[in-house]
Structure 1
């Protein structure tokens, strides 16, 4: 299928439109693009003629975008970013496969990173570029080939590979517990609780399953990342309900202690997720085939 030329405006015109939407000033656009203001104006006029519609509101000497043009500029911005990322990948690794991967910071640090040397040894031709994302996102708006998500494998337009089910364990610093004895799960409610934003119902679900008591609202302090909630637990600020793989080292060293006999599996899991359009991506194919050999079952938790 050949796309009509009128639907493929020049990059220069699109850059001028995107910059005007972002900078809100024709002079600022001219400075950023190293053009004169008249050249910027001509680029925008060319775009309007090509699209056959008005995009620019011209009031006195000020230029601004129509509402439709603002929405168009937002989509153009995403496309320009993807072009830039693709160009960078080509320039930095023209002869080898490159994979752009979004990772969850804690899972990436504790689970993925220790395993990556094996992948590098097996596939030295593949370069993996990584960036952290705490929340799920739309692949059409982010320059990633794949991502590691936590959830239930229900991401439309994607395919996924199960990496690891999550098992959680209540942990705290020995100093917080002192001489207190934990005889049953409900005794933990006597201690301050630490919550993670990505699992707001975790404590309520855990108490319901382990103690048979509905705890719809469990008070406590909230943290946005596992790295910070781990530090809070280590410094005796409360009890954290932590994925077991994240506190293996701390439990083995005795800096944290478990307040329950064994980890409990949750309903969510970690997945490698990629858009269907990337299914034949060479570097991604190598990576996911390798990851399949690293996924569950896991080694037992150190005691």
Structure 2
């Protein structure tokens, strides 16, 4: 048997629920003859009679009652789902996607402050390194790590990378003992922690600092920057990281710059990304404005701390990493 005709089933359910072809036609905004035709079609498909007439009244047969009980529950569930989806889109709900490390170390600590002012909002955060397929997923926007340039989407920067080698004070003391006053030699002697999905990795950073090491060894590699930062905090090596994720550790002194001799490389790295039409939702616009303000405040705090520590900031040109799906 072919799959059941949903249009004919919808017409049948309306007639059975309302007890009248005419009233069903009014609800469905079609003619009574169209309703009757759909009833005949589903009866022909099933090979049974669904109604019998008694004194100008339509009475469900046993088969008709069995189909009606199932159909009315199914269509009621569909209508409820439709209404819930419509309410959700109009309510104060927002769904966003963010990479895991950025979600935990940057966005997460800021959300309570936002919710304290907007307690009636519902926020869903999907922490994943995968970018949203907006045409197929119910996601309002992404916070993406990369160099921008995603075509066909509304894209603007939220936060900069300020990249530098960071190390625990205890491990820095060990390195200083091996090569006093020589940070390049200290690098050569150190365990370098590699964040394999970062935009600026050790080979690029060394080239931009015009440093050549006798041998580039990366004994610790992680696909989450949060893990690289933790390894550096524990004194297992030097992590090449951004203040976007490790600013609190630098502020507390749990991590320190390896040396003021090396420039801090600065670039736009975190982006608000959404289909243009999603900006028509007021909640999305307000959230994007809040994110932008938080990003500016964080960038200002990063620069104030770094310059206060005597570090030099240097803008670096963009690299073509816009197609990468990365966690940073």
Alignment TM-score, normalising by the size of structure 2? 0.58
Are 2:107 and 1:105 equivalent residues in the alignment? no
1:256–1:10 distance in 2 versus 1, CA, 3 Å: farther
State the Cα distance separating 1:162 from its structure 2 match. Answer: 1.0
RMSD, aligned CA: 3.5
Deviations 1:17-67 (A, max 9, x none): xxxxxxxxxxxxxxxxxxxxxxxxxxxxx9xxxxxxxxxxxxxxxxxxxxx
Q: Is the 8 A contact 1:167 1:263 kept in 2?
A: no
Bigger mean CA deviation after superposition, 277-286 or 254-263: 254-263
State the Cα distance separating 1:259 from its structure 2 match. Answer: 0.4
State the Cα distance separating 1:161 from its structure 2 match. Answer: 2.4
Deviations 1:113-132 (A, max 9, x none): 33334433444443211110
Aligned to 2:122: 127
1:194–1:270 distance in 2 versus 1, CA, 3 Å: same
1:253–1:126 distance in 2 versus 1, CA, 3 Å: closer
**Distance in 1 (alpha carbons) for counterparts of 2:82 and 2:271:** 24
Aligned to 2:253: 254
Aligned to 2:305: 301
Alignment TM-score, normalising by the size of structure 1? 0.62
State the Cα distance separating 1:280 from its structure 2 match. Answer: 0.8
Deviations 1:123-174 (A, max 9, x none): 4443211110124343234331101001111112211221111001211233
State the Cα distance separating 1:191 from its structure 2 match. Answer: 0.9
1:256–1:278 distance in 2 versus 1, CA, 3 Å: same
1:46-57 equivalences under 5 Å are: none
Q: Which runs of 5+ in 2 are unaligned?
A: 8-41, 43-79, 310-328
Q: Is the 8 A contact 2:191 2:236 kept in 1?
A: yes
State the Cα distance separating 1:106 from its structure 2 match. Answer: 2.5
Aligned to 1:160: 155
Q: Is the 8 A contact 1:196 1:223 kept in 2?
A: yes
Aligned to 2:194: 195
Q: Is the 8 A contact 1:149 1:272 kept in 2?
A: yes
Structure with greater Cα Rg: 2
Aligned to 1:61: none
**Distance in 2 (alpha carbons) for counterparts of 1:85 and 1:174:** 56
Bigger mean CA deviation after superposition, 153-162 or 115-124: 115-124
The count of residues paired between Structure 1 and Structure 2 equals 224
